[in-house]
Amino acid sequence: MKGSVSILIGGKAGQGIATIETLLTKGFKRSGYFTFSTKEYMSRVRGGSNTTLIRISNTPVNAPDYKVDIFVPLDEGAFHHARERMAPETFLVAKKGAYECDCTPYECDLEALAREAGTPMVSNTVAAALVFGLLGCARETLAEVLAELYEGDILAINLKALGIGADLAQENGNCRYCLERSAGAGAKTHLFLSGTEGAGFGAIAGGCNFISSYPMSPSTGVLTFLAKHSRRFGICVEQAEDEIAAFQMGLGAWYGGGRALTTTSGGGFALMGEGMSLAGMSETPMVVYLAQRPGPATGLPTRTEQGDLELAMHAGHGEFPRIILAPGDPKECFELSRRAFDLADRYQTPVIVLSDQYLADSAFTLERFALDAVKPAQCFVRSDAEYKRYRVTDSGISPRSLPGYGEGVVLVDSDEHTEEGLITESMRVRNEQNGKRLKKSETIVREAIPPEAAGEGDVAVVGWGSTKYIINEAIQRLKNDKVRVLHFSWVYPLSDAQLAPLRKARRIIVVENNATGQFAKLLKLHGFAVHDQILKSDGLPFFVDELSEKLDLLLKEMR
């Protein structure tokens, strides 16, 4: 029996792949399996070829393999789109003689079967039931999920389709991909959460009560998530006329005492550059959720890349502190989004949560985590009549008051300003205020989160952000004790303490989902020699099998 099974469903946009995904992921999770799903899709509303990968296991897996065990193409385009992902032992669920492949055909005419149920529309339910059965899961579990999605006649037809699919799986009795039962991913002990949902909940936990955004893939999920939950959690939601306004409205909201978020991707963030600079100069907190996709320009709008680290590091003219957090899984999306609000508030400077399409659109099974210490820090003070917004202090942090909160006025200025907040061209004051702003970095860097380490070897395999589980599993498969994986979720600014484990490394290999090795360049700036890099920028995430092979080659060369 295999440790995990990967199922790939492909089809045109609008063919119901999302329904299969919902049915199967909920069904597998309830059957006690660790479930992971991810998708890749084209930038179009209808047609094209999209796939969803579902991977289940009785031990935690939260990363995709390139080669799959079961492939269900819902149309011919999907077959050609993903044929490379089949191995000889891959089950290809398709009509007899439909496709030629070096794989194991599993003959089944989904559409004909769906017609038996009443309408070809339920092909996807037949497919889901068949796959569910092939893995040895009980049809009752899937019926339960269906009953939550549909009602009345539609439910009846879907239940019929489920019966047909499940019967077929049973009749053929092939259990090549049956998994041992797993009690691991319990109904109440584990969450099944996407990066988008993690970031959304994190923002709520961080006290977010205002969001203004301009929609842009793949960041829009967090905007719609917060809109959906706005009534429950008291969030003012406004769609901005452009990204410039989205950021500026957020600054206005923070100035008034709100906790604002804006969501965007690289192209939109480029427009927010001046806003970043204003947040830095005016010392107004701001949180940006930046979900990366491949650029330059419009690039590959619905695909993934870690290509905007340098943009995030450098966006905005002038010199000012900023913090960049790059979560590696939905739990970190939650924790870092929450923390972003407190960091922005405490240091009065912009904080970027750097995710990407892969992480945003992937759902992981994660142990349920505690929400303690959920209370956001309240960093503002009541003003007195003598209040000075930019009072020079040892830490560089000037107590921030709000308009209408106390006895003084709060003057915020984008021009260089006096302690009071009024425009000045005094060089002495310039040096004082500029120094004050930059001094905040000294305290900020003390908060830097150390990289997550696994293994004890002296070859460091370094990653950041969304690649966390992929790299970890790739290394686990190699069972190579020379390696120590170091994964960074706090990517800027880097502290000496954070980098200490790297100093012990004999060799450093950096793995990044981009073409030029942006994090490696940052490490070089800190004086590290990066010996090898594994880079990928074709719009897809790394796959565990693919990365494992590449790492194996590199490590063998080192021998």
Partner 1 sequence: MSTRFDRIVEDNSWCAGCGNFSILAYLKAALEELGLDPLRCAVVSGIGQAAKTPQYMKVNMFNGLHGRALPVAQGLKVSNPSLKVIAEGGDGDMYGEGGNHFMAAIRRNAGIVNIVHNNMVYGLTKGQASPTSQRGFTTPVQTEGVHVEPFNPIATAISLDASLVIRTFSGNKEHCKEMLKIALMHEGYVLIDIFQPCVTFNKINTFKWFKENVYELPDEYDPTDKVRAFEKSLENHPFPIGVIYKSAPKPTLEVILREESGMSDAPLYASGTDERSLREAMGKYC
- Taking CB under 8 A as the criterion, which residues in 357-416 touch partner 1? 368, 371, 374-376, 378, 380, 402-415
Binding status of residue 274 toward partner 1 by CB under 8 A: yes
CA–CA gap between residue 130 and residue 373 (Å, rounded): 45
Q: Least separation, in Å, of the C-beta of 172 and partner 1?
A: 33
**H-run or E-run covering 141:** helix 139-149
Binding status of residue 250 toward partner 1 by CB under 8 A: yes
CA–CA gap between residue 559 and residue 546 (Å, rounded): 21
Binding status of residue 235 toward partner 1 by CB under 8 A: yes
Q: 462 Cβ partners below 8 Å, 6+ apart?
A: 451, 485, 486, 487, 488, 502, 508, 509, 510, 511, 519, 520, 523
For the chain, the C-alpha Rg in angstroms (whole number) is 26
Q: Which of 66, 91, 254, 289 binds partner 1 (CB under 8 A)?
A: 254
Burial classification of residue 369, based on how many CB atoms lie within 10 Å of its CB (0-12 exposed, 13-18 middle, 19 or more buried): exposed
Contacts of partner 1 in 523-542 (CB under 8 A):
none
Contacts of partner 1 in 143-172 (CB under 8 A):
none
Q: Which of 31, 57, 263, 282 binds partner 1 (CB under 8 A)?
A: 282
# binding residues, partner 1 (CB under 8 A): 73
Binding status of residue 48 toward partner 1 by CB under 8 A: no
Binding status of residue 234 toward partner 1 by CB under 8 A: yes
Q: Least separation, in Å, of the C-beta of 221 and partner 1?
A: 14
Q: 461 Cβ partners below 8 Å, 6+ apart?
A: 471, 475, 483, 484, 485, 486, 509, 511, 551
**Alpha-carbon dihedral angle through residues 131, 136, 139, 144, given to the nearest 10 degrees:** -90
Contact indicator for 506, 28 with CB cutoff of 8 Å? no
Binding status of residue 273 toward partner 1 by CB under 8 A: no
Q: Least separation, in Å, of the C-beta of 274 and partner 1?
A: 6
Binding status of residue 232 toward partner 1 by CB under 8 A: yes
Report the 10 Å Cβ neighbour count for 365: 24
Q: 81 Cβ partners below 8 Å, 6+ apart?
A: 10, 49, 51
Q: Least separation, in Å, of the C-beta of 260 and partner 1?
A: 7
CA–CA gap between residue 245 and residue 81 (Å, rounded): 39
Binding status of residue 215 toward partner 1 by CB under 8 A: no
The stretch near partner 1 (CB under 8 A) out of 57-65, 170-178, 197-205, 430-438 is 197-205
Binding status of residue 343 toward partner 1 by CB under 8 A: no
The stretch near partner 1 (CB under 8 A) out of 61-69, 189-197, 507-515, 543-551 is 189-197
Contacts of partner 1 in 413-442 (CB under 8 A):
413-415, 421-423
Binding status of residue 320 toward partner 1 by CB under 8 A: no
Binding status of residue 459 toward partner 1 by CB under 8 A: no
Binding status of residue 257 toward partner 1 by CB under 8 A: yes
Name which of 85 and 190 has its Cβ closer to partner 1.
190
Report the DSSP beta bridge partners of residue 287: 261, 351
Specify the length of the chain in residues. Answer: 559
Name which of 48 and 252 has its Cβ closer to partner 1.
252
